[in-house]
Amino acid sequence: MPDPITEAGIPRLWPLGLFAEPGSKLYMADVRLVVASDTDVQRYVQFFQGQDSNAVQYYTDGSSFLQVAKWNGTRTTARSVTIIAGPCRPTSPEQYALPAVETLDAAAAAARNGCAVQVADNSTLVPTLLQKASVATQQALLVMVPFNVSLGRGLPAGAIQIRRPVILVGLFTRPTSVDLGMVVNQLNVTAPYSSLVWQSLILENASPGDAVSAVSALPFSTAITMNVWAVYCNRSQTRLQCLQLYNCTVVLGSAEELDYLSYM
């Protein structure tokens, strides 16, 4: 891809082998672009940092990935486009196949030295979160979820400890369903630097909060399932937004909730 800073005459995010006829435009959705090094990722991070915040939404760990949730450029429109580089650069077509289960020590070593991109399905999502998301680090973790998955597996409250920024990304062109299974406080997002982003997902079977949720709920109501009480975090804390929904659908528990949200 062209350098977005020094090669301004070439459309941004366009692969160099793609012929760009004057006046032509490119739309990309659910695309992964593999670049040569983490320097290429950093150049695009620098470029997007200078863009109008209304035109771009992105997430990055600064080295191995840049997930562009939305960008409206002059000639390029991007929706859920991921630039992958550095330690995440694939050595074979199987690089982004479903991950093998590894030990917590191995996950910690990978967080220090390696790729922060994972692909998960229904059988690997919970193990991936237990192993990768529990590593205490400021490096963000991107988990791609191209399949319908379930988090409601009888795990107790606080079973999944989130100790780093985690971005769960479904498909933009066909949003992925996450069955929350009516669980409450299952994902603990209270550690320093921890946060959780849900992107392009349909959240189903969300439960109201309980007495434990209420301790850190203010100013939100535990009766409203849209607040996703499967996540336990301090929602009034301004240091870091612990929970963010982007391009998500939350299936409400009742029509009364929709009325409440319409008039609140």
**Residues 33, 217: Cα–Cα separation, whole Å:** 39
pLDDT at 104: 52
Mean per-residue pLDDT, 98-119? 60
**Residues 132, 102: Cα–Cα separation, whole Å:** 9
148 and 189 together in one domain: yes
13 and 144 together in one domain: no
Q: Is the pLDDT reported for residue 96 higher than 70?
A: no
pLDDT digits (tens, 9 = 90+) for 143-171: 999 999 998 777 888 899 999 999 999 99
140 and 222 together in one domain: yes
Q: Which residues contact 23 (CB under 8 A, 6 or more apart)?
A: none
102 and 85 together in one domain: no
124 and 219 together in one domain: yes
**Are 191 and 216 spatial neighbours (Cβ–Cβ below 8 Å)?**
no
103 and 208 together in one domain: yes
pLDDT at 30: 95
pTM: 0.85
Q: What is each CA distance from 168 to 145, 203, 235, 246, in whole angstroms?
A: 7, 12, 19, 10
142 and 249 together in one domain: yes
DSSP-derived 3-state class of residue 78:
strand
Q: Is 154 left (phi over 0), alpha (psi -120 to 50) or beta?
A: left
Q: Is the pLDDT reported for residue 22 higher than 50?
A: yes
At position 209, the amino acid (one-letter code) is: G
The residue among 31, 60, 93 that closes a domain is: 93
The residue among 93, 112, 136 that closes a domain is: 93
φ, ψ of residue 13 in degrees (nearest 5):
70, 0
136 and 238 together in one domain: yes
Q: Is the pLDDT reported for residue 76 higher than 80?
A: yes
Domain count, the chain: 2
Bond into 219 cis (ω within 30) = yes
88 and 118 together in one domain: no
DSSP symbols for 127-180: HHIIIIITS--SS-EEEE--S-EE--SSPPTT-EE--SEEEEE--SSSPEEEE-
Q: Which domain holds residue 249?
A: 98-263
78 and 171 together in one domain: no
138 and 252 together in one domain: yes
The residue among 31, 64, 93 that closes a domain is: 93
125 and 186 together in one domain: yes
